[in-house]
Structure 1
Amino acid sequence: DRLLLGMKGSISEFELGVLRARMYEAARAKAQRGELRISVPFGYVWHRDYGLGFDPDMRLQETIRLIFARFRELGSARQVLISMIDDGVHFPRPSDGKKMVSFDWVPIRYRNVISILKNPFYAGAYVYGKSEKRTEIVDGRVRKSYGHYKPASEWAVVLKDHHEGYIGWSEYERNQELLAANAYGKAGGVKSGRGGRALLPGLISCGRCGRRLVVMYAGRGQGYPVYRCERGNLMMAQARCMSFNGFRTDAAVTREALEAVAPMAIEAALEAERMQLESEAKRRQMIEMDLQQARYEASLAERRYAACDPENRLIAAQLERSWEATLRRVETCEARLSEVQRVEPVDAVPDFTGLAQDLEATWNAPGVDMRCRQQLLRALIEDIVADVDDDARDVILTIHWHGGQHSQVRVRKPKSGEHGQRTPEEALAIMRSMATR
């Protein structure tokens, strides 16, 4: 009897393992066809009739599209967050834990931005098996941990063009490359502009070893920027490949960029004016959607308060506070909308045509900070390779423009002791000729 019961128990346990394996394989086979209804990110829902599609909430759709548009413009997830916080953009957050049934619209956070930019679902791809379960022995016991993300090359199922996406797959890949390059302290492509006093950090590389040049500041006070090939010296105690002044280099690249865009300045000004108007219209549309949502929540809170018995103060007091909070939000949205509508079109839209006629004055305008100049330069230039001609004492800059064109600029490298406060030889000659009079 003991032997029979033991064999029956072993067979039953084996059957459970077989059933579990069959269930997993069935789910995997269904996922390979793109029919397994897994949890989807914000902006998508599973429809009963035609499967995966956009969320019917237009406000949520416009918010997600705005995130991709801002990243396409700024090239940095952090800058996208800052710009959207300045515009008062909200994003939904589950109010019931992880059930994803009811939501509260709260100010957008960095994790909302980065999760949208890194999720391949928004590029129209169905992805299954992005994470894995790991089992290890800890103190003689089996411990399982979940949620360990795998690299993209190890995902179990990737079906491109599975559903309608907010962006294309090529743009998604470009976004991942740019996010990886923006990581601090990691090698990669051209990083996004981060401000400072130098124009070309993260954009200029060494023509001898291929490493990115770093910016050092020399001199008293705030100092002046110096571009150096410092990685080999720091990591392997090698001699520096090159070192040259940053102000002269930045000025030379600026002149080259302004000369390159001068023939098309008027067309670019008209395009900038169109983009400015579209940006203002998009901002006004987002505020109007916020106001519409706030008015609906206020009317819903009013109906709940009206349906409650006023004598039941334990419930009526809470409903009254909720109604007042929604009314205050309506007032805030109305004030934001009136502020946007109160701005006159003449004052809101700059004179782009006038700016195009004097590009140098536009570039050096007080309202244009270094971060904006870096972003403008990265829209034109793909990469800059620097080398030093020791015999001629020239810094050779090879500029790789977007579109495949290349140009070369030479910047004279000053001698030791030569600086900007030095009296020119022409002035000294005049002084010597006048000294005998």
Structure 2
Amino acid sequence: NRHGDLHWARATTSAVAAILKNPAYAGAFVYGRTRLRKPLDGRSPTKAPKPIEQWRIIVKDRYPAYIAWQSYEKIRDIISDNRAEYMRNKTRGAPREGELLLQGIAWCGRCGHKMYARYKRRAEYVCNHLRSHQGLPACQYIRAPRVDAAVAQAFLTALAPAEIDALSCARRAQQQTYKAIRSNAEQQLERRRYEAALAERQFNRV
């Protein structure tokens, strides 16, 4: 804080994301990660991130690394793929609330742009790219239950009964494994909280 004391706080989503995207986390020194973007309304320029292949300088193994550079690049790809920017990026987006099957992976058969799921009045897939970018009428609206039913039926038709039984067994085994992993993770988290509290007390005592 402003007095120079170390402040201990729970990790937030934004803080964790900033750490994961920082190349220093992988032990690298980097220069030129951003560029100035000129606004159209006469305001001050803003910084915009550059793609990793356009960074000016990358010096690996400059700092003690928490993860390998390959892991860092993989994490960046996952974070980028989770961005649900339907109108600009051809990414899947992270799974979000809602029961529709094709969230983030439905594409318009007329204009070829990504559709988004809308639950305002009724569940439907909407292609709004042409309207947002060119001022044209919305391309199409499709009621989601009809599409999801066809997708589910095609999926079940592709599976033989024996495969469904095997899938059910695998699912149950997966759930048991997940419970064991979650229990272990909760125990580790509790130990880490205890270690963090102990480190805080020791630091303050010193």
Aligned mate of 2:109, from 207, 215, 221: 207
Quote the residue 2:142 is aligned against: 244
Distance 1:270 1:238 in 2: 50
Aligned mate of 1:290, from 185, 193, 196: 193
Contact 2:87–2:114 under 8 Å retained in 1: no
Contact 2:81–2:91 under 8 Å retained in 1: yes
Aligned mate of 1:112, from 15, 24, 30: 15
Q: How far 1:118 moved relative to its partner?
A: 1.3
Distance 1:115 1:128 in 2: 15
Distance 1:105 1:239, change over 3 A: closer
Q: Secondary structure at the match of 2:107?
A: strand
* Alignment partner of 1:191 is 2:93: yes
More helix by share: 1
Q: How far 1:247 moved relative to its partner?
A: 0.7
TM-score by length of 2: 0.67
Q: Secondary structure at the match of 1:227?
A: strand
- Post-superposition Cα deviations, 1:298-330, rounded to whole Å, max 9, x if no partner, equal 5787x78xxxxxxxxxxxxxxxxxxxxxxxxxx
* Alignment partner of 1:103 is 2:6: yes
Distance 1:225 1:131 in 2: 40
Distance 1:292 1:213, change over 3 A: closer
Distance 1:150 1:299 in 2: 39
Aligned AA (1:236): Q
Aligned AA (1:226): E
Distance 1:120 1:255, change over 3 A: farther
Aligned mate of 2:56, from 153, 156, 175: 156
Q: How far 1:188 moved relative to its partner?
A: 2.7
Contact 2:93–2:104 under 8 Å retained in 1: yes
Q: How far 1:267 moved relative to its partner?
A: 2.6
Give the share of equivalent positions with the same residue, in percent. Answer: 20
Q: Secondary structure at the match of 1:201?
A: coil
- Post-superposition Cα deviations, 1:335-361, rounded to whole Å, max 9, x if no partner, equal xxxxxxxxxxxxxxxxxxxxxxxxxxx
Number of residues of Structure 1 aligned to a counterpart in Structure 2: 188
Distance 1:104 1:294 in 2: 12
Distance 2:200 2:140 in 1: 63
Distance 1:208 1:133 in 2: 35
TM-score by length of 1: 0.36
Distance 1:114 1:208 in 2: 36
Larger radius of gyration, structure 1 or 2? 1
